[in-house]
Amino acid sequence: MKHHQKNIPSVENLLWDIRFINDRIEQGDIVSAKHAVPIVLKMVHKMSATAKAEGATDLWLSPFVAAGGWVGIIVSYTINGEKLEYSITPRRIGYA
């Protein structure tokens, strides 16, 4: 896994959207991550074609209920011959 590789724009946008869903969980607008995972699955389905158009192959995105009651996602895809694989729970840490 290469940590210096930057995500393709569609994956960056998905991570950004999941961060806002986790904000909504924290604020109580969404009851729990269990209720938010289906929302994220719809987002994944919609953005998959965009990711493939950006050159991603072997695309696999799997949202899950992460520790602490947040939504996390497992990301795996190949771009320009390099494989990216990681799991992340996008959250805003602290409030400015």
Extended beta strands in 1-96, E state: 57-66, 70-79, 82-88
Could you give the number of structural domains in the chain? Answer: 1
Confirm whether 63 is domain-assigned.
Answer: yes
Note every long-range contact of 87-94, with CB atoms under 8 Å and residues 24 or more positions apart, other chains counting: 88/15, 89/22, 90/15, 90/16, 90/18, 90/19, 90/22, 91/19, 91/22, 91/23, 92/19, 92/22, 92/23
Q: Tell me if 82 is assigned to some domain.
A: yes
pLDDT for 37-73, tens place per residue? 999 999 999 999 999 999 999 999 999 999 999 999 9
Residue 96 domain-assigned? no
Higher pLDDT: 96 or 22? It is: 22
41 in any annotated domain: yes
Rounded Cα distance, 66 and 8, in Å: 23
Which residues span the domain enclosing 79?
Answer: 9-88
44 located within any domain: yes
Q: Is 13 contained in some domain? A: yes
Q: State pTM to two decimals.
A: 0.87
**58 lies in some domain:** yes
